[in-house]
Amino acid sequence: MKGHLKVENIRIAAQGKEIVKGVSLEVKPGQIVAIMGPNGSGKSTLANAIMGHPEYEVTAGKIVLDGEDLTPLSVDQRAKKGLFLSFQYPSAIEGVTISNFLRTARNAVKNITMNVIEFNNLLKEKMNLLCIDQKFISRYLNQGFSGGEKKKAEILQLAILEPSVAILDETDSGLDVDALKVVAEGITKTRTKEMGILIITHYCRILDYLKPDVVHVMLNGRIVKTGSSELAKELEKSGYAKYQKLSVIQ
C-alpha cells in the first residue's frame, strides 16, 4: 500500500542532546496529518530525521514507509523509496535553472533517464496545472526569489517527483494571505488519493485551506494531544498554554 508512513516511538538527538522523546504517528494513504507546536518543540527535527538528515541521530524507534523500515537508509535512498521533504528555508543554487534541477532530481529519484523532450512535456503539464508562468523555470533555483516564489518552486518539485508521502515543513512560513492561498491550492492540485501528507506548522492558517484528518500537538519533543481539525481551531483561539504541563508530565 503506497503512501503509508508510520513513525514508531522515535527518539532523536542532535549534538548529544535529545530533542524528540518518543513520538509515534501515522500518515495513511490520502490523509493530511498536521503537527502543530511553538518554536523549539521538535517539529522540524522530527521532519528532518524522518527524511534522514545526518545531523539528527535516531537513537530509538523506527520510520516505516509502505511496510519497509527506512531507518538505516540515507537521504537519497529514502527519496527513491518515495519520501519528500519541502524545506522551511529552501537553499538558492546560482547557475542551476529550475528546469535542469527538476529533471536531474526526477531522474535520480525515479531511477530513470527521461530525455529533455519527455521531461519538458511533463514539466509543462505540471506548470499548467499549478498555473505557473513558463518563464519561471529558466530562473536559477531560488536565486533572488521572494518567499512565495520559493514555496511555489517547492510545490512544483513536489508535483514533478510525485512521492508516496510528502512532508511539508512550515510551508506557510513568511507567506502573505495571497501567497498562502496559491501554495495551498498548488498542494491540493498536486496531491493524489494515495499520497500521504504530513504538514508541520505553527499556525492554523494553511489548515483553513487544507483540512487535516488528524492534528497532533507537539511540545518539548512529545506529542501531547491528538484530535481532528477542530483541535487546530482550538489552538488558534487559546494557544498552547493548557498543554504545557502535559509535555513535562509525559
Query: CA angle at residue 141 from 137 to 145, to 5 degrees?
Result: 95
- The 8 Å CB, 24+ separation contacts for 25-28 are 25/198, 25/216, 25/223, 27/3, 27/165, 27/196, 27/197, 27/198, 28/3, 28/4, 28/196
For residue 57, what are the β-bridge partners? 13
> What is the b/e burial string over 175-194, where b = at least 16 CB atoms within 10 angstroms of the residue's CB?
beeebbebbbebbeebbeee
If pLDDT is split at 50, 70 and 90, which confidence band does 7 have? very high
Phi, psi of 86 (to 5 degrees): -90, 120
If pLDDT is split at 50, 70 and 90, which confidence band does 85 have? very high
Entry field: residues in the chain: 250
Mean pLDDT value of segment 117-131: 92
Q: What is the CATH number of the domain that holds 242?
A: 3.40.50.300
pLDDT at 14: 93
Confidence check: pLDDT of 248 > 80: no
Contact 18, 59 (CB under 8 A): yes
Mean pLDDT value of segment 222-239: 90
> How far, in Å, CA of 60 to CA of 222, rounded?
14
> How far, in Å, CA of 99 to CA of 186, rounded?
18
Per the structure, the count of domains in the chain is 1
Phi-psi region of 193 (alpha: psi -120 to 50; beta: other; left: phi over 0): alpha
**Mean pLDDT highest for which of 28-37, 143-152, 178-187?**
28-37
If pLDDT is split at 50, 70 and 90, which confidence band does 1 have? low
Confidence check: pLDDT of 68 > 60: yes
pLDDT at 247: 57
Mean pLDDT, the chain, integer: 90
Q: Tell me the torsion sign for CA atoms 183, 54, 25, 224.
A: negative
> How far, in Å, CA of 127 to CA of 56, rounded?
34
Contact 85, 5 (CB under 8 A): no
Secondary structure (3-state) at 104? helix
Confidence check: pLDDT of 250 > 60: no
The one-letter amino acid code at 130 reads L
If pLDDT is split at 50, 70 and 90, which confidence band does 151 have? confident
Residue indicated by cell numbers 512560513: 173
Q: Does the model's pTM come out above 0.85? A: yes
Helix (H) or strand (E) holding 77: helix 75-81
Mean pLDDT value of segment 192-208: 89
Closest CA to 168 of 41, 64, 34: 34
Mean pLDDT value of segment 224-249: 82
Question: Angle formed by the axes of helices 98-110 and 147-161, to 10°?
Answer: 30
Contact 199, 206 (CB under 8 A): yes
Residue indicated by cell numbers 509543462: 124
**Full domain range(s) for residue 121:** 5-249
If pLDDT is split at 50, 70 and 90, which confidence band does 176 have? confident
